[in-house]
Amino acid sequence: MSLSLIPGQKLIAATHNPGKAVEIAAILNGRFEIVTAGSLDLPEPEETETTFVGNAILKARHAALRAGMVALADDSGLSIAALNGDPGVYSARWAGPDKDFTRAAEVIWHKMDVAREQQGDAFTTAAWFTCALAVAWPEGHACVFEGRIDGTLVKPRGAKGFGYDPIFQPEGFETTFAEMDADAKDAISHRSRAFAQLKAALID
Ligand code: IMP
């Protein structure tokens, strides 16, 4: 069994989110034939692990075993130091079934105000995005890569991007992810950092 990915190979993007599949295909420079778990009607597993790495492997293995093909899955989210790493692996869930990230940002800032009172001088607005990217082979082997970008939690600014982009300002920048063009965000994002490791290890 070869543990590398061969350009042209068919890969399952273990996601039911067509946007993510497009993003995965773009990051892999269109060099692979990407099919989504959703288009193959594979059931979506429950994300029962407590780490990004654990959930990424769980999703990739689940798809690879069912479809008999190499599968790729990511798990990502925003962690906030003053909230003990929350929302972390629960980032999507904090936005509720309506995926209301405006509301999620309000909830986060309410919790931050409480944390500021409780933590005094120890309080910080440090935050980071993490992306774990797992590749699983149908024979059972899996490997995982993790990318991270550090920054600061800020009040919402900007309308580009998605999710928590408006409340995250990466270290060394004056703009939030939601104020940056997609290319500028891609150059430094947790997701592109995880993909760079994957490419170096399995493709190039
Ligand atoms: P996942 O689909 O389980 O990986 O959920 C990740 C959640 O984290 C999503 O709901 C996003 O809101 C959030 N998230 C992950 N990456 C980013 C990002 O680059 N910008 C903004 N939000 C993100």
Domain CATH for 61 = 3.90.950.10
* Residue 86 domain-assigned (yes or no): yes
Q: Tell me the CB-side half-sphere exposure of residue 101, using CA atoms within 13 A.
A: 17
Decide: 146 in ligand 1 pocket, CB within 6 A: no
Decide: 94 in ligand 1 pocket, CB within 6 A: no
Q: Does 165 participate in catalysis according to the annotation?
A: no
Residues in Cβ contact with 100 at an 8 Å cutoff, skipping those fewer than 6 apart:
none
Q: pLDDT band at 21, cuts 50/70/90?
A: confident
Domain of 47 in residue numbering reads as 10-203
Q: 0.85 exceeded by the pTM?
A: yes
* Residue 94 domain-assigned (yes or no): yes
* Residue 45 domain-assigned (yes or no): yes
Amino acid type, 114 = V
The helix (run of H) or strand (run of E) holding residue 13 is strand 10-13
CA of residue 74 to ligand 1 center, whole Å: 10
* Residue 2 domain-assigned (yes or no): no
Kindly report, residue by residue over 72-130, the tens digit of the pLDDT: 999 999 999 999 999 999 999 999 999 999 999 999 999 999 999 999 999 999 999 99
* Residue 5 domain-assigned (yes or no): no
User: What is the number of domains present in the chain?
Assistant: 1
* Residue 3 domain-assigned (yes or no): no
* Residue 84 domain-assigned (yes or no): yes
* Residue 112 domain-assigned (yes or no): yes
